Amino acid sequence: MSEPGTALPGTAGGLWQHLGDWLHARGRQQLALQCYRQGARAGGMRAAMAARQLGWRLLEQGRIDDALAAWQDAQRHAQLDAPTLGQMARCSLQSGQFEPAQHWARQALSADSLQAQAWLALVESLLDGDPDQGQLEQALAQGLAAVQARPDDAPLWAALGTVHLHRCDARQATQAFARALQIDPGHLAARHHLAVLAGSPAAAQAAVDHFTQALATEGDRTALWASLAWAQQTLGDVQAAQASCDTVLARQPRHLLALFTLATCRSAQADPAGAVALLDQVITLAPTLQTACSNRAFLATYLPQASAAQVMAWHRAWNQQFGQPDQPCTRPALPLEPQARLKVGYVSGDLGPHPVGYLMQQVLAHHDANEVEVHVFSLNRQPSDMSDALRRLVPHWHEVLSVPPDELAQRIADMGLHILVDLSGHTSYHRLQTFVHKPAPVQVSWVGYFHSTGLDAIDYFITDPHTSPAHGGQLFSETPVCLPHSRFCYAPPQYAPAVASRPGDAPVVFGSFQRTDKLVQPVLQAWAAILQAVPGSRLLIKAGGLQVPDQAQALMDRLAQAGIDTARVTLRGPSGHADMLAEWGDVDIALDTFPFNGGITTLEALWMGVPVVTLAGHSVVARQSTALLANLGLADELAAPDEAGYILAAVSLAQRAERRQALRQQLRPLLAASPVCQGEAFTRDLERLYRRMWVAHCAGQRLPAWTQA
C-alpha cells in the first residue's frame, strides 16, 4: 500500500476511506484524517464518502468550520445523506451562518422529513434570523410543523417554546416547554425557561448560568442572548439584562423580546415613561401582541404626570384592539330568578403567596354556601402551600393555565355562572381575552387591579367610598359600585411576629418596602426633603433586586441625584415573608410611594405597628393607602393632599416620639378591629353587592354608579 500522500487509481477514494476508518477505530486520528483527505481528492461517489467521514471526524474534534468545508466538498461529488445534511445545518447555525443553516436543513428534510436535527436547526436559524424578513413568523410556522412531524421530540417542543417566548406569547411558551418536560423531564433548556416564565427569582440564577453556558457551547446566537437577558431581568440583575438586550438590539433593532425585556428593566429603574416608549415600539412592530398593550396600560399608572384621561386612553386602547371576540361563545340562557343561588367565578393567576392571595383568603373562607356556589379558575404557575390552602376553601377549583382564552370562555359559559369576577386586570397571566367573550351575564373587576380595565365587556368595578369618592374625577369604563368600607379584606398571616418596640430617643428610621418600580423621581425628591428636615434620620429601603450589587448601586446613584445623602441610606434585598415582616421592627415611619401607593405593603406595615404616611391622589391606585388609613380613623393625620403636606406629615410625626410610640402599640389592634379585617362581615357585604347586580340584570338593568352594598 502506498503512503498516505500518494493517490491511488480506480477505487482509490473507497480504499482511502476504509483505511481511514481502520485507523480511526484504533485511535490513530491524525493518520485517519490524512487518509480521508486523500480519498476526498479521488473524485466520484467514493470521494464523497471519504469527505463525509472526514467531516464527521473533524466535528468530533470540535473543528466545526473545517467539518463544514469537508461536507461541502463531499456535496459537490454526490448528494449526502439526511443525517449529515442535518448536522451541516446545525454546524452552520453554531457558526452564525443562518442562511446556509436553513439551506442545509431544508435539503435534509427533503431527503427525510423526520430528520430531527434538521428540524431543530431550521427553527433555530429562523429564530436567529432577521425579523424584518418575517423570519420570526417563519420560525413559528416551521416550529409547529416540526412538532406535528415529531410530536414526541422534546428538543423540538423546547424550540417551539422559545419561538413563542420571543414573540412574547408567554401562555403558548409555557405550554410548549411543559410538553417538552413531559417527554423528557431532564431537558434543561425547557426546565429553565419554564422556571423563569413562572417568575421564580430562585430559579432564575440557574437559568442565567444555563444560557451563559449555552452561549459558550452553542455559538454566539442572538436568541440565546435574548433568553439570557430575560432570565437576568427576572433575577433582578437589571444592569446585566440591559447589557444583554443591547447586544441583541445592536444586531436586531426590532427584536421583540429584547425590547420587551428592556421595557421591564426601565420600569424596575422607576422610569415608566421610558418603559412605555419601548412598549410603543413593540406594539408598532406587533400590533396584535396583547401582552405589550396590557403592560403599557399597567405602566401608565406609574406615570407621575399623566392625566386620568391619558391613563384611561391606554386602557381603552386594549379594548379597541382586542375587545371584540372573533367568535363569541354560546351561552345558555339562565333563568332570570332574582333569588337564585348565585354561581360566582373568580379568575386569577395570583391565588398563592401574592397580594391577591392574601386579600382573597377571608372571602373564600366565609362565602355562604347557601347563597353562593364558588368557582375558582386558577392560572397559577407554581404550586405553593398558600395556593393549596386556598384551594381547600373552594368547592370548585379549576386549573386552567393551559386552556386557551376562547375555550375557557366556552367552558365557563357551559357551567352557567351568573357572575364572573376578574382578579387580574392587566397584570401578568390575565385572562381578559376570556371576559371579552362574555361567558357570564354579569362580569366584574375587583381586587387584583387598581384601575379600570377599559373593557366594554366588564360591567362593574368594585371599589369603596374612600378609594373612589363619588364624582371625584376617577374614570371607569365599568360602572363603579362600592363596598361600604374597604375594597380590601386582609387576613394577617399567623406567622407574623409580635410588634417590635422602638427606642423613642434613637434616630428616626424612615422605611419603604415597595418595589423599586414605584420609586419615581418625585417620590425620591420628597424623601430628600424629609431627611433634610429631620437631622440624624435614616432611610431603609427593602426591595427585590437590591441583592444585586449593580442594581443597588444604580438606586444609590438615583438617590444621590435626588439630593439624598446615601451615607444615611440602608438597602436590603428580598427575604422570606416572615423575615420581611420582622424587618418592619427596624422602621419608625413608613413612607408611601405615589402615584402608585402601597396595597398589601401598607397593610403589612400597619399590622407590624408602623405608621404609614401617604399622599392621597385622585386615582384608585393613588388612594389605596388613604382608604386603609380612613378605616382606622387616621387619614386626617397621615394622608396628605399634596407633596408639601406629605413632607410635613412625615416630618411632624418624626418630631413626636410619644405619638409614634402610641401608634406603634395601637395600629395592630386598630387594624384588627377595623372592617378591613372582619372577613365574615366583609363577605356578607360583597354577597349583597353580587345579589344587587344579579337582581338588576334580571330586571334588564344595570346598577347606578356608586351604588353601595
DSSP readout, 294-325? HHHHHHHTT-TT--HHHHHHHHHHHHHHHSS-
H helix runs in 547-642, sequence order? 549-561, 577-583, 600-607, 624-631, 635-638
Which three cell numbers, joined as nine digits, stand for 596?
A: 402608585
| In the predicted structure, residue 4 carries a pLDDT above the cut 60 | no
Strand order through the sheet with 442-445: 396-399, 372-378, 342-348, 419-422, 442-445, 460-463, 479-482, 707-708
Homologous superfamily of domain range 509-677 = Glycogen Phosphorylase B; (3.40.50.2000)
Task: Show the beta-strand stretches assigned E in 479-597.
Answer: 479-482, 509-512, 538-542, 569-572, 589-591
| Residue 422, helix vs strand vs coil | strand
Give yes or no on whether 342-482 and 509-677 have one common fold.
Answer: yes
| Residue 72, helix vs strand vs coil | helix
Separation of alpha carbons 26 and 32, rounded Å: 9
Q: At what angle do helices 222-235 and 201-218 cross, to 10 degrees?
A: 160
Predicted confidence at residue 10, as pLDDT, reads: 39
Identity of the amino acid at 76? R
| In the predicted structure, residue 1 carries a pLDDT above the cut 50 | no
What does the H/E/C string look like for 167-191? CCCHHHHHHHHHHHHHHCCCCHHHH
Separation of alpha carbons 110 and 90, rounded Å: 16
| 3 CB neighbour count, 10 Å cutoff | 7
Break the chain into its structural domains and give their ranges. Answer: 12-191, 342-482, 509-677
Percentage of the chain surpassing pLDDT 70?
A: 91
Q: Report how far apart, in Å, the C-alpha atoms of 96 and of each of 102, 226, 384 are.
A: 11, 15, 42
The residue written with cell numbers 446556509 in the block is: 100
Residue 572, strand partner residues = 542
Burial class (CB in 10 A: 0-12, 13-18, 19+), 452: buried
pLDDT digits (tens, 9 = 90+) for 416-475: 999 999 999 999 889 999 999 999 999 999 999 999 999 999 999 999 999 999 988 999
Residue 220: DSSP 8-state: S
Q: Are 262 and 239 in contact (CB under 8 A)?
A: no
| In the predicted structure, residue 9 carries a pLDDT above the cut 50 | no
Average pLDDT over residues 333-352: 95
Chosen CATH of 342-482 out of 3.40.50.11380, 1.10.10.10, 3.40.50.720, 3.30.2230.10: 3.40.50.11380
Q: Report how far apart, in Å, the C-alpha atoms of 327 and of each of 290, 300, 330, 333 are.
A: 17, 30, 9, 18
Identity of the amino acid at 393? L
pLDDT digits (tens, 9 = 90+) for 95-107: 777 888 888 788 8
Percentage of the chain surpassing pLDDT 90?
A: 71
Average pLDDT over residues 24-42: 69
Q: Are 583 and 573 in contact (CB under 8 A)?
A: no
Separation of alpha carbons 255 and 228, rounded Å: 14
Predicted confidence at residue 348, as pLDDT, reads: 97
Q: Are 367 and 343 in contact (CB under 8 A)?
A: no
Predicted confidence at residue 111, as pLDDT, reads: 84
pLDDT digits (tens, 9 = 90+) for 576-626: 999 999 999 999 999 999 999 999 999 999 999 999 999 999 999 999 999
Predicted confidence at residue 38, as pLDDT, reads: 63
Separation of alpha carbons 164 and 157, rounded Å: 11
Separation of alpha carbons 71 and 65, rounded Å: 10
| In the predicted structure, residue 334 carries a pLDDT above the cut 50 | yes
Give pTM, 2 decimals: 0.86
Which three cell numbers, joined as nine digits, stand for 420?
A: 364572573
Is the backbone of residue 107 left (phi > 0), alpha (psi -120 to 50) or beta? Answer: alpha
pLDDT digits (tens, 9 = 90+) for 192-222: 998 888 877 778 889 999 999 999 988 888 9
Class of 12-191 in CATH: mainly alpha
Which three cell numbers, joined as nine digits, stand for 632?
A: 382606622
| In the predicted structure, residue 2 carries a pLDDT above the cut 50 | no
| In the predicted structure, residue 8 carries a pLDDT above the cut 60 | no
pLDDT digits (tens, 9 = 90+) for 103-152: 878 888 888 888 888 898 899 989 887 776 678 889 999 999 999 999 99
Separation of alpha carbons 102 and 389, rounded Å: 50
Predicted confidence at residue 135, as pLDDT, reads: 86
Band of residue 39 on the pLDDT scale cut at 50, 70, 90: low
Predicted confidence at residue 3, as pLDDT, reads: 30
Predicted confidence at residue 58, as pLDDT, reads: 64
H helix runs in 385-520, sequence order? 385-392, 405-415, 432-436
